[in-house]
Every structure is written in structure tokens, then in C-alpha cells.
């Protein structure tokens, strides 16, 4: 027996089955509260999470036997990585499991924005038939700028490969990554060439509020803006301002600075955000498909098997 694993979120059962076959005892408790987790975490060598809890200093202090944290998703921003690594805790995540979902979702948002699907759909349902004001843009011939060229960024670039677009990508932490789907460029080239900007970077202290008034000011052409990464990378007021002044033609946002109700409805920009016909919102589901639900657990199980405990 290798020890006990606590699952505190809804994971596909494939992870539990695989972990048990490796010799772990698995307690699958997706409804567990933070208080309950704090009281029993000392019993476990591993914990599997999605987004329900912040794995912070308080939780880690209550987990002296913890050897690994399995994050069912791409980002690790709900884990205090510094403290976890100081304690020798191995962190595993699964960007390979939902990158196709994210790439497809980003493309769907972009096509919907460029062709006015949101406003046209609502107008017809309201008895209005407007063709001219719903005239769209073709993606062919445009330049798509991607920030971050990991699993998510590359997936989006790959999905774009049949649209006859030029795809350029910037990644601060990678070099020589040009491939059949995207060409590596500087940030200066991103702001100079892009007709579309899509974010595929993690939330860190460095990227928080990256997209603000000053950042958007540097773009040479009006852009369509897509964010399927993390909401706190973007200042929502900057997006709204850029939509008003024509810097942004349309914005597809799967993530927001503040998420979930009732907190979201109390945000000062909520009414303006939801009333704009140039914005399409989805509830942080870009990477959450029926297929990715299983694939994430498959990836986590494989990585768990490779951990040296």
C-alpha cells in the first residue's frame, strides 16, 4: 500500500481506478468542505483537485505527509507553488488533457465574434431581420497573434491551420519554437501585426493585469480579442474602453477577473459587460468538455504512475 489519496473535486473515475491499481487507497469525496479537508488532510500522501479549494499555506501546514498534488486541469494558480515545492511536494497537472477543448472553444468564440452570431441570433428571435449591420469578417488572410505557446496555444494554432491565416506567437519562456502552425515572433511584432489576439498563458504575479489600457494602446490595428486563459490576466475595464474607442472589434471571454455569482453581478463593470453586443461570455468552460473530463484523468493517472514516492 502506497498510502491514501483524497479526491476533493469531481474527477472522472478513471483516475481513482488507476490510482487504486497502483496500490493507493483512494477516498473520493467531491462534496467535502474546506473545514473537513483541513481536519483529515494529515492522513493523505496525495490530494486531487480542480478548482474548489485554494491549496494555500494553511492547508499545506495541515498536510505533513503530503507527497503530491494532482491538479485536474492546466493551471496551478490555485496552489501555493512556492510553499509546496519547499515542502518537497510534487505537483502534476494535465494541460494535455484539455488542450483540444480549449483550442476549439477559442476558435468558436472567434468565429462567432467575427460573424456577429450573438446579435444576429437575438435580433431574429426578437423579430428583426438585419443583414447589413450583421455583415461579418472573413478569417482568411488575417494575422492571429498568440501569447503563450504551450499545449493550449499550440492547439489553437493547429485548429487555425485550415483557415489560410498567418499565425504568429510569442512566449517569454520559450525560444526556437516555430513549427508548421505558428511562427515565433517578438511581442513588438505581435502588437504590430495582429488582427486577432488570443491569450494562452498561466496566471502569475508577472501576468496579472498584463492586458491593460497601456498594453492595448500599442496595437497598430483593431483586433478581435480572445481570453480562455485566466481572467485576472485582463483588466475588464480596459477591454470595455477599447471596445468603445475601436481598438477592440469584439471580445470572447471564457474567464473573468471575478467569476461565479453573486460576486460577479456585484462587479462594477458587470452591467456594461453583459449588455455589449460585441462581447461573448462563457462560464470558464473552454477546457471542460465531455471528452476532456476523461482525458484529464487519463493524463493525471499516467503522471501519477511516473512519480517516485
Residue 110: CB partners within 8 Å, gap ≥ 6? 139, 196, 198, 224, 226, 252
Sequence-ordered strand ranges (E) for the chain: 3-7, 24-28, 46-49, 68-71, 90-92, 143-147, 166-170, 183-184, 196-199, 223-227, 248-253, 279-281
Q: Are 253 and 130 in contact (CB under 8 A)?
A: no
From 104, 123, 189, 259, active-site residue:
259
State whether residue 87 is helix, strand or coil. coil
N-term to C-term CA, the chain: 12
Short-list 198, 152, 146, CA closest to 167: 146
From 105, 200, 230, 235, active-site residue:
230
From 14, 29, 104, 284, active-site residue:
284
Q: Catalytic: 132?
A: no
Report the distance separating Cα 280 and Cα 253, nearest Å: 6
Q: Catalytic: 259?
A: yes
Q: Are 290 and 104 in contact (CB under 8 A)?
A: no
Short-list 309, 308, 294, CA closest to 17: 294
Q: Catalytic: 71?
A: no
State whether residue 123 is helix, strand or coil. helix
Q: Are 224 and 232 in contact (CB under 8 A)?
A: no
State whether residue 278 is helix, strand or coil. coil
The verdict on whether omega for the bond into residue 262 sits within 30 degrees of 0, i.e. cis, is yes
The C-alpha angle with vertex 207 and arms to 203 and 210, in degrees rounded to 5, equals: 125
CA dihedral 15, 18, 22, 24 (to 10 degrees): 40
Tell me which residues are annotated as active site: 230, 259, 284
Amino acid at each position: 500500500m502506497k498510502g491514501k489519496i483524497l479526491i476533493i473535486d469531481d474527477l472522472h473515475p478513471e483516475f481513482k481506478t488507476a490510482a487504486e491499481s497502483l496500490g493507493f487507497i483512494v477516498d473520493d469525496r467531491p462534496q467535502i468542505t474546506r473545514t473537513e479537508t483541513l481536519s483529515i488532510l494529515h492522513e493523505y500522501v496525495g490530494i486531487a483537485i480542480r478548482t474548489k479549494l485554494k491549496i494555500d499555506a494553511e492547508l499545506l501546514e495541515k498536510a505533513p505527509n503530503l507527497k503530491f498534488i494532482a491538479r485536474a486541469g492546466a493551471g496551478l494558480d490555485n496552489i501555493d507553488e512556492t510553499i509546496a515545492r519547499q515542502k518537497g511536494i510534487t505537483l502534476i497537472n494535465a494541460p494535455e488533457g484539455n488542450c483540444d477543448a480549449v483550442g476549439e472553444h477559442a476558435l468558436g468564440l472567434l468565429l462567432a465574434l467575427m460573424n456577429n452570431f450573438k446579435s444576429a441570433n437575438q435580433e431574429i428571435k426578437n423579430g428583426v431581420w438585419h443583414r447589413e449591420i450583421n455583415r461579418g469578417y472573413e478569417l482568411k488572410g488575417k494575422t492571429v497573434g498568440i501569447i503563450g505557446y504551450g499545449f493550449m496555444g499550440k492547439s489553437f494554432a493547429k485548429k487555425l491551420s485550415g483557415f489560410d491565416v498567418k499565425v504568429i506567437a510569442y512566449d517569454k519562456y520559450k525560444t526556437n519554437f516555430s513549427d508548421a502552425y505558428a511562427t515565433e515572433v517578438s511581442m513588438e511584432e505581435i502588437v504590430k501585426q495582429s488582427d486577432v489576439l488570443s491569450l494562452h498563458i498561466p496566471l502569475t504575479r508577472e501576468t496579472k493585469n498584463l492586458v491593460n489600457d497601456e498594453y492595448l494602446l500599442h496595437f497598430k490595428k483593431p483586433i478581435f480579442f480572445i481570453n480562455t486563459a485566466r481572467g485576472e490576466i485582463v483588466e475588464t475595464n480596459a477591454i470595455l474602453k477599447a471596445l468603445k474607442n475601436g481598438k477592440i472589434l469584439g471580445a470572447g471571454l471564457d474567464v473573468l477577473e471575478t467569476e461565479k455569482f453573486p460576486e460577479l453581478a456585484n462587479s462594477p463593470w458587470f452591467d456594461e459587460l453583459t449588455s455589449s453586443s460585441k462581447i461573448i461570455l462563457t462560464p470558464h468552460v473552454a477546457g471542460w468538455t465531455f471528452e476532456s473530463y476523461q482525458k484529464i484523468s487519463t493524463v493525471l493517472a499516467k503522471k501519477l504512475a511516473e512519480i517516485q514516492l
